Structures are given as C-alpha cells and as structure tokens.
Structure 1
Amino acid sequence: MSKPKQAGGRPRDGRVDHAIAAAVRSLLGEQSYATLTVDAVAARAGISKATIYRRYATKQEMIFAVLLHDLNEAPPADTGSLRGDITALTTRIGDQLARSAAGVMAGLLADIHADEALSARFTDSYLAVERSVITTLLDRAVARGELPHRPDPALVHALLLGPLFAWQIMLNEDPTRTTLLADAVARSVTNALTSGALTNPAGIEKASVRQSH
C-alpha cells in the first residue's frame, strides 16, 4: 500500500512547509473545505503545485497534516504515569481539533471514508501513526507495573477520540472548553484501563497458550 509522500534526498525546506500550512489555514478562513484546491494553496504559498505533490499525494492528506498532524507525530514525553501520559495525549488531540472548523473536519472525514483507496492510505499511514503513539503509552504503563498487559490499542484509540470528536465536530461546541473535556476523558480512560474493564481474558488465554508451545 502506498503511503503519503515523505521527503527523500535533500532535506525538506521548512520554509515551504510553513508556507503551505499558512496558505491552507488562510484559505480555509475565506472559503469552504469543498472549494479549496491544491492550485489555490500553491498560488497563495508562492510555490508550484508540484512542490505540494512532492509532500502530499492528495488534497486531503495536505489538509490533515496541516490541521491535525503529519507522519512524524511522536508520543508525548513520559510523564511518569499512565494518567499523565493520557492527559498529555488528549490535550494534544483537543488542541489539534480546535485548529479547524467543524465543517472542515466533517468534509475531510467524509472524503476519506467515501473513497476506499484514500481510506486505506489513511489507515496505513496517519491512523497507524496514532495507534503507534497509543501503543507506546500503554507499553510504558506495562513497564511501570500500572497495567498487567497491553490492552487493545484500537479500543483505547476509540475511547480517546470519541468524546473529543463528538464535542468539536459533531456537536460543534466551544473549543476553548476542550481542556476540561480532555482531562475528563483521560481520567475516565485511565480508570477503565487500571480497573481491568478493557481486558479480554479469552484473548489473553489464547496468547498464553501460544507462548507455551
């Protein structure tokens, strides 16, 4: 499966990346997501369209990387506790979502899910990066002894994203209040993890049997 394009050869010019990001943000402030084009971004940024396509294969990937995160997204710094790590992550997610209007995110997600090939690209790239970040946080907790084993990162991912996406995209609520929600989500998910509510005894048993052979 092909991935969103990464820089190769010479180091990428950070000034170009900043120009693209600034152009995307300014254009989305003037027009709708549906009418924004790569040509318009290139013109506003003062670069060629080919320069953008060397970085992003599609308009959707360009906008996602600018408004949310790129493929270099790293886990939050180790806070020393599962609760602290998850709080840092939910705060980051909330901040990322607050960068764009609900209509922009709704249009972007609709485009991604309407195109099977595009959806697969996002699953294998941006979504994989997000799951990797969550896996790192869970593995830290296991290493500290806070969790007996790593729960399903996909399930934890859904629990973290669901309330924040609902608040800022589905309900279009005040993004300045997201910090309070992010803390509540972190507390709720941490409690669920440490109480064993997300364990899968059957799955653990199967894994143990495989390891014993």
Structure 2
Amino acid sequence: MDKKSKLTGRPRDGRVSDALLRVTLLELAAAGYLGTTVAGVARRAATSKQAIYRRYRDKNALVAAALAHGFEAVRTEPPLRGSVAEDLRRYLSGLATAFAETPLGAAVRALASYRQKPEFAVVFDEAETGQRLALRQILIATPFEADMETRIDLLLGQLYFSLVFHGDILNADDIETSIHLVLGLVAPRDPAPFSGLPGT
C-alpha cells in the first residue's frame, strides 16, 4: 500500500474528492487547523460527514490529502536552460503566485506548527523533494552548481520564512533580489581569520 492510499482511505468519485479537497483548503485558510472540522468541511461542501468519512478516515487524513492536492495543483514551467536567473525567476514566481492566489499559502501557514504530525510530514517532505528537484534541474551543469543545496536552501528558505513567519508572499522585487544574492554567493573554501576579535 502506498503512502497516499494510507492517508485517504477509500477514494470514490474523483470529481467529488477534488471538490472536497478544494473546500478543505478553503476551510484551513479561513479557520486554521484547530478550527477546521469534518463537520465544517461537510457544511461548506454541501455534503455529509458520512460522505467524507467514506473517503478519508479522519480529519488529519482529509487535511493531508487536501494539502497534497494543493501542492500538486501548482503549475511551474520547466527550465528553458537559456538563463539560470530567468529560470529561477519563473519557478519561484510560480510558487509565490500559487501561495498568493490559491488557499495553499494560507493552508501551509496554518499547518506549519503541526508539520511533525506523520500525515502532514509525508506531504511536506514530498513537496520539498519536488521543489528541490526542480531547482536542481535549473542549477545543475551551470556555473552555479557549486554549493547547489545551500543555494536551494536560501531560495526556498526565504520563500517559506516570509510565508510562515510574516504571513507575506514574496513579490517580484523580493524574488529578484534573492536570485541575484544567491547566484552571487560563493562559499569561501579557506576563509582568512578575522582580525581584531577577542582571541585573535
């Protein structure tokens, strides 16, 4: 049994399930994790709790499936391989747009404190894996391949830090600044010791 089937119970009509997952994201965005209930989702979706429980074993399974659905719906363009900066700009702008224009951003923020719950950890880990892979495809075989994982940490870190801790979505200027800084970073291999500090 794969991870998704463990989370979702018995999937039924795909269109009904998609509608439930969209509504669940809306409920998370509006009410937060603690305020989201199966009854509330059923009410918003004009269905019954029983219909939801036939598909998802409990609230956490429903929320995890909704979060996965939100990440899967993010549309990002494959790299053009002409300009690293442009490919990064297109990819990060796509993520930022998804966070801003769909309930996904607010849902991620609502679930950040509960990331270690096993059902949610699976989804967040898979989303990060996919995002890191996309960024590796942009950076690999370019002059910026060195320290690639650290560059990716910085790019995704700024995006998620801004979202989770400040409730802000990176704008075009923020993304541009982030890209220029990250592409300009070269980690020193043998840094010279600082002078004038205690103990030096």
**What TM-score, normalized by structure 2, do the two folds share?**
0.66
Partner of 2:180 in structure 1? 187
Partner of 2:194 in structure 1? none
Partner of 1:166 in structure 2? 161
* Superimposed CA distance per residue, residues 162-210 of structure 1 (whole angstroms, 9 cap, x where no aligned partner): 222233331234x4x6222122222222223xxxx15879xxxxxxxxx
Q: RMSD between aligned alpha carbons?
A: 3.9
| Matched residue type, 1:128 | T
How far residue 159 of structure 1 moved from its aligned partner, in angstroms, is 0.7
How far residue 131 of structure 1 moved from its aligned partner, in angstroms, is 2.0
Structure 2 CA distance for partners of 1:102 and 1:65, relative to 1, 3 Å: closer
Provide the rounded CA distance (Å) in 2 between the counterparts of 1:74 and 1:200. 38
| Matched residue type, 2:99 | L
Could you say what secondary structure the match of 2:3 adopts? coil
Structure 1 contact 90–185 (Cα < 8 Å) conserved: no
Residue 58 of structure 2 corresponds to residue 65 of structure 1:
no
* Superimposed CA distance per residue, residues 121-180 of structure 1 (whole angstroms, 9 cap, x where no aligned partner): 2465222222222222223xx1xxx32746443x2332112222233331234x4x6222
Structure 1 contact 83–186 (Cα < 8 Å) conserved: yes
Report the structure number with the largest CA radius of gyration.
Answer: 2
Structure 2 CA distance for partners of 1:74 and 1:91, relative to 1, 3 Å: closer
Provide the rounded CA distance (Å) in 2 between the counterparts of 1:29 and 1:101. 8
Could you say what secondary structure the match of 1:33 adopts? helix
Partner of 2:31 in structure 1? 31
| Matched residue type, 1:61 | A
1:7-156 correspondence runs (5 A) = 15-28=15-28, 30-45=30-45, 46=47, 48-50=51-53, 52-53=55-56, 58-67=61-70, 69-70=71-72, 76-79=77-80, 80-98=82-100, 99-100=102-103, 104-113=107-116, 115=117, 117-118=118-119, 120-122=121-123, 124-139=125-140, 142=141, 146-147=142-143, 149=145, 151-153=147-149, 155-156=150-151
Unaligned ranges ≥5, structure 1: 7-11, 202-213
Structure 2 contact 151–182 (Cα < 8 Å) conserved: yes
Provide the rounded CA distance (Å) in 2 between the counterparts of 1:189 and 1:200. 17
Percent identity of equivalent pairs: 19
Unaligned ranges ≥5, structure 2: 7-11, 191-200
Provide the rounded CA distance (Å) in 1 between the counterparts of 2:155 and 2:107. 21
